[in-house]
Chain A
Amino acid sequence: MPEMLSLSNDPVLFLCVMITKILVVFIVVVLIVAYATYAERKIIGRMQTRLGPTMTGPLGLLQPIADGLKLFFKEDIVPAQASKLAFVLAPMMILIPAFITVAVIPFGGDVVVYGYTVPLQIADLNVGILYILAMAGLGVYGIVLAGWASNNKYSLLGGIRSAAQVISYELAAGLSIVAVFMLSETLSLRGIVAAQSGSVLDWYIFSQPLAFGLFVITSLAEINRTPFDLPEAETELVSGFCTEYSSMKYALFFMAEYANMIVVSALIATLFLGGPAGPFSGPINLLLKVFSFMFLFIWIRATFPRVRYDQLMYMGWKVFLPLALLNIVITGAVVVF
């Protein structure tokens, strides 16, 4: 059994491998983000008897690049009454947590490089899940700050909605995962994947269907997707927290939304669907699972109306939270007896 590559046994190789992994993951995520926008427009277009982008390049495939260029060259407007620092900081504060969450997601088993074992994961934190929840919590600061700093009443309402929404849904999301690591007895995502590595029936979606359902729904609320897209509800709040944003700052919000979709999909795949397990090689399995969840999210967007603020709160506190607690009790009983 080859030794695990670490900073102590071969620092140069370790750094090289680490940087390579980070670069590869980053590029893949950015690419998926770009083409997720394309896919969303194409898929929703098809569902709505439209075509989606067709003119930019073959099948409109260059659309994300055109969009990016356009946004890049747009005038960057900072409202005169805005709180400058927070206004500039907010889009970064929402994008960065989205990206760095990917660091703990295992995207494959181990590979052997120059006689050392290298895990296909950027960082195997032993508190991986807590890290993810912390980052998800950080992301909302971006929205709240954006809403507050814009000095616009619609933005402010969007920011407030977002804060309220995240508080109510993070609890239910966190508690639904508790049941998962009660079974796996580890907080490390790698450990959770290992615990599901037996057969397909070992995937937690089968032993924890309730937690799975809760987590998928609460994740939708956390990443502000339809039907829980209240913070930016364009028909109510114009564009919510990003009303005043333009140019690249707006693009950052946009990218963050899709990056969050990827993270959440990857997380669901890791926690409930065995992560990289499957018929193909590890990363491809994970990507397939991620894509299917993203498709689901897009599908939901094409189908559902938006819930109302008070109904969202009601569901969060009076439906999802008790259900998550009940699930923990049941899981606990099963684990003990």
Chain B
Amino acid sequence: MAKKETMTINMGPQHPSTHGVLQLVLELDGETVVNAVPHIGFLHRGVEKLAENRSYHRALPLTDRLDYLAPMSNNLGYVLAVEKLLGITDQIPERAKVVRVMMAELTRIKSHLVWLATHALDIGAMTVFLYCFREREDIMDMYEKISGARMTSNYFRVGGLSLDLPEGFEADILKFIDAMPGHLETYEGLLTGNKIWRKRTIGVATISAEDAIDVGLTGPALRASGVDWDLRRDNPYSGYEDYDFEVITRDGCDTFDRYTARLDEMRESCKIIRQAVDKLQPGPIMADVPSVCLPAKQDVTNSIEGLIHHFKIITEGFKPEPGEVYQGIEAPKGELGYYIVSDGSANPFRMKVRPPSFVNLQALPQMIEGKLLADVIAAIGTLDIVLGEIDR
């Protein structure tokens, strides 16, 4: 009898389907995974440390670069945390809150589209990839219209929004969410009933509800394991309590259920966006807290007081009372939390990010051990990780 040896294989950081620079050290017996160890850190930029050396306003652009597929969600979590620290949460104008919800949900669709695209591509369905990116392009265009940037939008501000919505933006967004259910049906037409797709996803990379909670899984991955937990409903922020939506849960705990759950989440997001557009009333977009909020652009250019006000906030920043705060939001990938400690200076003493991808990645080894190499790819895809926020 020949001696049996396992083979160690370095999957990544340069590999087409590790979604960035994840390295998986896999111990293979044939094609069966005996042991899997994820290695991270190839995209570490020190976002948390950088934030300690910047004023609160200037730390905001760093958050765009965490989960670069959902920049507005990251912005939202951060500004909510800082607002909570300052105690101005109640003073955020209604219009700003509604636009935040609208854009956060649009971001959810954007993030889920990239997830579906890459997940399907990993499993071999090439066409869905391009269809999803076509729709994502529309969202990017809307991003560009409101913030000037397609990816690193940096649109929200502590106290409100950086700019008001451009003219006719409501029509754009309504047009998009009118078309979106049809697009979702197209994807489902290519995948849901497809026998090969079902075989590749049903019963693959399962994780039970208990294990999911033990690991700290959040977001669609947790809800597809049957745990009914969504911060938008269970710990509402930015006025989510005023919207009518369903929290999508599934009981299959597998890749297929995570897939259908996310698709349904996109439908729910469309619903929320529609309600947000209905709620949209003209009004101020910045809280009336001059010590924190930047003045409007026309004041800066037209009056000396405005210019000085702007200058003071940009150069000195604002100084929250010493204290600490945690704010979690339901980002597309799960619970995104910001823990900020203030020592009374203009810079955060410590900013800790709880990235959903990092925590969700911890479920990967137990999902894939004993499974085949092809399932590893499906598992990475179904967890929807983004290395930008894992490494930070």
Contacts and interface: CB of A to CB of B under 8 A. Distances in A.
B127 A226 contact: no
Nearest to A306: B124
Interface residues of B, number: 32
A305 B130 contact: no
A302 B194 CA distance: 13
Interface stretch (B95-103, B195-203, B319-327): B195-203
Interface in A262-309: 301-309
Given A44-B126, A303-B127, A307-B196, A235 B31 contact: no
Contacts of A235: 16-17, 121-124, 377
A220 to B, nearest CB: 12
Contacts of B9: 153-154
A308 B199 contact: yes
Interface in A224-248: 226-227, 229, 233-238
Contacts of A48: 126-127, 129-131
B180 interface: no
Interface residues of A, number: 30
A3 interface: no
A305 B130 CA distance: 14
Given A234-B16, A235-B16, A304 B125 contact: yes
A238 B124 contact: no
Q: Which of A307, A308, A309 has the most CB of B within 10 A?
A: A308
A8 interface: no
A70 interface: no
A113 B16 CA distance: 56
B200 A307 contact: yes
Interface in B164-211: 190-191, 194, 196-197, 199-200
Contacts of B31: 157, 161, 309
Nearest to A307: B196
A300 to B, nearest CB: 11
A49 interface: yes
B259 to A, nearest CB: 12
Interface string A50-63: 10000000000000
Contact of A304 (B7, B134, B194): B194
B50 interface: no
Contacts of B129: 48
A236 B129 CA distance: 17
Interface in B121-169: 121-127, 129-131, 134
A304 B197 CA distance: 8
Contacts of A69: none
B280 interface: no
B391 interface: no
Interface stretch (B51-59, B281-289, B292-300, B367-375): B367-375
B126 A227 contact: no
B22 interface: no
Contacts of B377: 235-236
B44 interface: no
Interface string A213-227: 000000000000011
A28 interface: no
Contact of A157 (B17, B197, B373): B373
Contacts of B7: 153
Interface of B: 7, 9, 15-17, 30-31, 120-127, 129-131, 134, 190-191, 194, 196-197, 199-200, 372-377
14 contacts: A49-B131, A49-B134, A157-B373, A235-B16, A235-B122, A236-B373, A302-B126, A303-B125, A304-B194, A305-B120, A305-B125, A306-B196, A306-B200, A309-B372
